[in-house]
């Protein structure tokens, strides 16, 4: 349960965490830059000199502008298992090449989410390659989360779909996170269930969630989230193909987590009915 004062605190905490993360990363808007945890600096230098070595790892996913690799470093670097996400700036629109890169956005979002009590992976390194301000590429490296499933396993064709207790436990803990994000001025824009991991050995009704994909989550800089809330909820409910009964139960649960949002179950339901599928 939260009240309006706690909402204000979360919003202020998010703004402070974002500002602090920027001061630590020290991004350059004109030229190339890189940042790493002190203990990871040598490993980062090696990875940047030998990028082809990543192809010896596990290819997790790709989109036209992004590659994601799971890779284990050598014993010289502590045998650390990492996830390396690389963005091709040339495949982004012009506005994306001149603005903040997806990798930097994700690093900032992880810092903010962590300050809100949302579990995220350890960020080990981040950086951008720019020429006269134009983004050529960017990267973010996080610690690999072992022995976990993604929320994609709970989607209609997922192998855990029929576990109703796990599906509802996942959704409720996801909505706990979402309520905090909304109170902090964040929209989940671009969310997919694969962006959330949970341990394979989880208590079904209360799985521990780790938010591992945050590059598209949008900081609005505003406390006015009334219209964004149903948009975010329907996006999640549609992806997970939940029943009407499950949606109504989860709407009521969301309001327990964010009672000062201004909505009722009925107003959420009416607002979501008016949104296009896949919003």
Q: 124, 143, 162: which is the final residue of a domain?
A: 143
Asked if residue 11 belongs to a domain, the reply is: yes
pLDDT at 62 over 80: no
| CATH of residue 173 | 1.10.510.10
Asked if residue 77 belongs to a domain, the reply is: yes
The predicted pLDDT at position 278 comes to 44
Shared domain for 95 and 157, answered yes or no, is no
What is the rounded CA–CA span in Å between residue 25 and residue 10? 22
The tokens describing 147, both together, are: 């022995």
Closest CA to 139 of 262, 48, 249: 48
Choice between 5 and 104, residue whose per-residue pLDDT is larger: 104
Mean pLDDT of 22-42: 96
pLDDT at 6 over 80: no
Identify the helix (H) or strand (E) that includes residue 244: helix 244-257
Shared domain for 124 and 192, answered yes or no, is no
Over the stretch 36-53, which tens digit does the pLDDT of each residue have?
A: 999 999 999 999 999 999
| DSSP-assigned letter for residue 276 | P
Shared domain for 80 and 187, answered yes or no, is no
Asked if residue 278 belongs to a domain, the reply is: no
Shared domain for 86 and 40, answered yes or no, is yes
Asked if residue 279 belongs to a domain, the reply is: no
Asked if residue 206 belongs to a domain, the reply is: yes
Shared domain for 179 and 230, answered yes or no, is yes
Q: 143, 169, 188: which is the final residue of a domain?
A: 143
Over the stretch 196-238, which tens digit does the pLDDT of each residue have?
A: 999 999 888 999 999 999 998 999 988 899 999 999 999 999 9
Identify the helix (H) or strand (E) that includes residue 143: strand 134-143
What is the rounded CA–CA span in Å between residue 196 and residue 217? 13
Shared domain for 132 and 208, answered yes or no, is no
The predicted pLDDT at position 61 comes to 82
Total structural domains within the chain: 2
Asked if residue 39 belongs to a domain, the reply is: yes
Shared domain for 191 and 208, answered yes or no, is yes
The predicted pLDDT at position 47 comes to 97
Contact of 21 with 111, CB cutoff 8 Å: yes
Contact of 72 with 84, CB cutoff 8 Å: no
Shared domain for 94 and 14, answered yes or no, is yes
Choice between 144 and 65, residue whose per-residue pLDDT is larger: 144
Q: 126, 143, 160: which is the final residue of a domain?
A: 143
Q: For the chain, what is the total number of helices (H) and then of strands (E)? A: 8, 11
Shared domain for 137 and 13, answered yes or no, is yes
How far are the Cα atoms of 76, 126, 193, 212 from residue 217, in angstroms, in the given order? Answer: 35, 17, 13, 11
Over the stretch 121-149, which tens digit does the pLDDT of each residue have?
A: 999 999 999 998 999 999 999 999 999 99
Closest CA to 230 of 261, 260, 191: 261
Shared domain for 23 and 120, answered yes or no, is yes
Give the domain extent around 186.
148-273
The predicted pLDDT at position 279 comes to 43
Shared domain for 126 and 24, answered yes or no, is yes
Shared domain for 138 and 152, answered yes or no, is no
Of all residues in the chain, what percent carry a pLDDT higher than 90? 80
């Amino acid at each position: 349960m939260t009240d309006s004062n706690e909402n204000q605190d979360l919003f202020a905490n998010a703004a402070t965490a974002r500002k602090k993360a920027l001061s630590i990363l020290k991004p350059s808007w004109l030229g190339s830059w890189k940042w790493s945890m002190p203990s990871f600096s040598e490993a980062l230098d090696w990875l940047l000199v030998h990028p082809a070595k990543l192809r010896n790892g596990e290819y997790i996913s790709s989109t036209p502008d992004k590659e994601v690799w799971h890779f284990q470093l050598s014993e010289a670097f502590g045998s650390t298992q990492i996830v390396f996400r690389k963005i091709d700036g040339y495949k982004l629109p012009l506005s994306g090449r001149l603005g903040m890169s997806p990798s930097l956005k994700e690093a900032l979002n992880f810092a903010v989410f962590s300050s809100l009590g949302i579990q995220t992976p350890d960020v080990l390194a981040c950086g951008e390659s720019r020429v006269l301000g134009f983004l050529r590429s960017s990267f973010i490296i996080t610690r690999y989360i072992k022995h976990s499933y993604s929320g994609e396993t709970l989607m209609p064709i997922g192998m855990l779909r029929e576990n109703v207790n796990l599906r509802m436990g996942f959704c409720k803990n996801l909505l706990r996170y979402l309520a905090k994000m909304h109170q902090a001025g964040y929209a989940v824009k671009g969310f997919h269930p694969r962006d959330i991991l949970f341990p394979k050995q989880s208590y079904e009704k209360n799985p521990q969630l780790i938010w591992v994909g945050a590059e598209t989550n949008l900081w609005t800089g505003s406390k006015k989230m009334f219209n964004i809330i149903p948009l975010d909820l329907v996006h999640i409910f549609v992806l997970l193909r939940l029943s009407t009964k499950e949606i109504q139960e989860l709407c009521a649960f969301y309001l327990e987590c964010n009672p000062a949002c201004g909505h009722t179950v009925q107003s959420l339901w009416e607002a979501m009915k008016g949104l296009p599928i896949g919003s």
